[in-house]
């Protein structure tokens, strides 16, 4: 019991330190009642909703899947945001994922606080939650969200099964082609490892386009499709047409795990990890 208490105390101290570090970039001139936030990052929108501060939002991206924001104005996507629409909504905070020089310059010229995240790992997600918690006065909720996620991830108990898996983020409709797969530096790979799997794609990056002819050599025992694809009962049939000899296909171990936020580093990551874990736990250990 003593060890558990020390571990939890240490975790809470680390979370507090994380928030203190994030505090440097908080737009201190803003008043709580005057926040008007636009985010062109669907994952950030999901994080804001999970933190219970949805009321600060005045606009979201064209592809935002968060149901509670479905009636908010859309301002386009990161590739082509509508500056005119953004101006109409009169935000004082704009949040994006990745780099966007045009939008950043627009914000600088118009006195709008601009924040860019690059959230492609679980740790960077924790940092984003910390910043949002500090900025929008919901530090306790942010700390709780991180603490709960960490506990749930630890409880997956993979038992070191290390089943070889392939994580498919996108492919051509009705065909096993143009495969975009998660590699070692993706948050999906982190979830897979926590669930007891091993990624057959060893590339030291986040996502790669995989040459289909390499599939028999990689020979995954389980294939997870995490994109919106055909009806689930058709997925195995599609793989059988071209790769019937791959273990995952010959053993009927191809699974479609599609949820609106399955490809987003957000609070629902744990659901994806649980689903992977449940499937992997049903398999026999690798000898």
- Does the pTM surpass 0.75? The reply is yes
Other C-beta atoms within 10 Å of 224: how many?
29
Checking if the pLDDT of 31 tops 70, the result is no
Condensed to tens digits (0 to 9), the pLDDT of residues 120-172 reads 899 999 999 999 999 999 999 999 999 999 999 988 866 666 789 999 999 99
Nearest by Cα to 272 from 127, 125, 52, 131: 125
Checking if the pLDDT of 224 tops 90, the result is yes
Segments making up each domain of the chain, as ranges = 2-153, 160-281
Instruction: Give yes or no for a contact between 230 and 174, defined as CB atoms under 8 angstroms apart.
Output: yes
Please identify which residue in the block is written with the tokens 């606009």.
Answer: 59
Checking if the pLDDT of 12 tops 70, the result is no
Average pLDDT (58-73) is 92
* Tokens, residue 19: 């928030």
Mean pLDDT in the chain? 86
Checking if the pLDDT of 22 tops 60, the result is no
Output the CA torsion sign for 157, 163, 164, 165.
negative
The pLDDT assigned to 281 comes to 86
The pLDDT assigned to 27 comes to 60
Condensed to tens digits (0 to 9), the pLDDT of residues 228-277 reads 655 555 788 899 999 999 999 999 999 998 776 788 888 889 999 999 99
Query: How sure is the predictor about 38, in pLDDT bands with cuts at 50, 70 and 90?
Result: very high
Nearest by Cα to 179 from 249, 127, 234, 227: 227
Query: How sure is the predictor about 18, in pLDDT bands with cuts at 50, 70 and 90?
Result: very low
Query: How sure is the predictor about 25, in pLDDT bands with cuts at 50, 70 and 90?
Result: low
Find how far residue 34's CA is from the centre of its chain.
29
DSSP for 196-240 reads TEEES---SSSEEEEPGGGHHHH--SEEEE-S--S-HHHHHHHHH
For 2-153, CATH gives 3.40.50.1980
Nearest by Cα to 207 from 187, 224, 228, 221: 187
Alpha helices in the chain (DSSP H): 2-22, 42-50, 83-89, 101-109, 122-135, 139-154, 187-195, 215-218, 232-243, 247-250, 269-281
What architecture (CATH level 2) is domain 160-281? 3-Layer(aba) Sandwich (3.40)
* Tokens, residue 254: 């191809």
């Amino acid at each position: 019991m003593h060890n558990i208490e020390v571990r939890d105390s240490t975790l809470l101290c680390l979370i507090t330190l994380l928030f203190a570090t994030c505090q440097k970039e908080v737009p201190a001139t803003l008043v709580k009642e005057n926040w008007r936030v636009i985010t062109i990052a669907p994952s950030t929108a999901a994080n804001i909703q999970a933190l219970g501060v949805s009321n600060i939002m005045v606009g979201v991206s064209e592809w935002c899947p968060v149901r509670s924001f479905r009636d908010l104005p859309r301002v386009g996507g990161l590739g082509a945001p509508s500056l005119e629409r953004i101006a109409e909504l009169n935000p004082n905070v704009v949040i994006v994922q990745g780099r966007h020089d045009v939008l950043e310059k627009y914000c600088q010229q118009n006195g709008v606080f601009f924040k860019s995240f690059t959230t492609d790992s679980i740790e960077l997600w924790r940092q984003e939650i910390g910043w949002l918690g500090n900025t929008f006065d919901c530090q306790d909720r942010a700390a709780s969200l991180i603490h709960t996620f960490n506990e749930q991830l630890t409880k997956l108990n993979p038992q070191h099964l290390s089943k070889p898996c392939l994580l498919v983020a996108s492919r051509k409709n009705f065909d096993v082609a143009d495969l975009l797969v998660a590699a070692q530096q993706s948050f999906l790979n982190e979830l897979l490892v926590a669930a007891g799997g091993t990624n057959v794609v060893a590339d030291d990056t986040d996502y790669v386009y995989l040459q289909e002819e390499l599939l028999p050599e990689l020979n995954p025992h389980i294939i997870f499709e995490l994109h919106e694809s055909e009806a689930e009962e058709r997925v195995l049939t599609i793989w059988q047409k071209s790769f019937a000899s791959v273990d995952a296909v010959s053993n009927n171990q191809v699974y479609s795990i599609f949820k609106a936020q399955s490809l987003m580093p957000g609070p629902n990551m744990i659901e994806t990890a649980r689903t992977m874990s449940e499937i992997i736990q049903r398999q026999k250990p690798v000898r």
